[in-house]
Amino acid sequence: MAVTDEAIAGIKDMIVSGQLGPGDRLPPEKELSERLGLSRSSLREAVKALAVIRVLDVRRGDGTYVTSLEPRLLLEAMSFVVDLHQDDSILEIFAVRRMLEPGATALVAREGSDEQIARIAELVDELGSDPGIEDLVAHDIAFHNRIAGATGNAYLASLLESLSSRTVRARVWRGITEGGSVARTIGEHRAIVDALRRRDPELAAALMVAHVAGVEEWLRRAR
């Protein structure tokens, strides 16, 4: 079991056993991490994940609380998870992206202008090394859209933008639940930019295949 999963299970057991009830405030982070025998970083990731599915409510400057746990609230979050993990359409979208985006990236490496490639690189440089999940996802969308736009093919760019927008929730969920995904995404984007700058279409395409396939494979495992 992954460390984050252990932390999630530990908090869940506290709720199920009655140690924590609806509306209760979680113990301080240091105390809770020691009680569960886990690192504070893994505990933070667990809290993020449980907040997404409406089990916990993180109140800035106040603390983290168990929600009301009302069925309506949990079912709303559960519909998100069911849609993400059991609907094969999301995997099919990633499969189409995996087929099309490497070709688009190779085209930009061959025919894109220096200015267009520089604008793609700017997105990576502006992001910083430790962005939040929302900032990373916004950057990821802009990165892929800017590459598609640099192909000069309006139909292809429009299609890829539409496909990319339908995978936002998957990217958010991966960023929250999978350790190292933020640094990995940034590193993969930098490698793609380097291949574009070197005008190496084969390498650029191969890196894009690996980049899109990584999320696709994570989704398959998550299901």
Please state, rounded to an integer, the average pLDDT across all residues of the chain.
86
Alpha-carbon separation of residue 75 from 89, 167, 209, 212, 214 (angstroms)? 21, 21, 35, 30, 29
CA distance 127 to 179: 19
Give span(s): CATH 1.10.10.10, the chain: 3-72
CA distance 200 to 108: 10
Backbone φ, ψ for residue 58 (5° rounding): -90, 115
3-17, 143-157, 176-190: least confidently modelled range = 176-190
CA distance 195 to 192: 5
Indicate if the pLDDT at residue 197 is higher than 60: yes
Q: Which of 94, 186, 95 is nearest to 132 (CA)?
A: 186
Q: Where are the beta strands (DSSP E) in the chain?
A: 56-59, 63-66
Per-residue pLDDT tens digits for 148-171:
999 999 889 888 888 887 777 677
DSSP 57: E
Give pairs for 60-64: CB < 8 Å, separation 24+: 63/25, 63/26, 64/25, 64/26
Angle between helices 154-165 and 133-149 (to 10 degrees): 160
Q: What is the pLDDT of residue 163?
A: 82
Contact 45, 177 (CB under 8 A): yes
Tell me the CATH architecture of domain 87-222. Up-down Bundle (1.20)
Per-residue pLDDT tens digits for 60-110:
889 999 998 876 666 566 555 545 545 567 788 888 999 999 999 999 999
Q: What is the pLDDT of residue 64?
A: 95
CATH 1.20.120.10 fits 3-72, yes or no: no
Which has the higher per-residue pLDDT, 69 or 113? 113
Q: What percent of the chain has pLDDT over 90?
A: 48
Give span(s): CATH 1.20.120.530, the chain: 87-222
pTM value > 0.75 = no
Which has the higher per-residue pLDDT, 199 or 92? 199
CA distance 210 to 8: 29
Indicate if the pLDDT at residue 223 is higher than 80: no
Question: Which are the contacts of 165, defined by CB distance < 8 A and separation ≥ 6?
Answer: 141
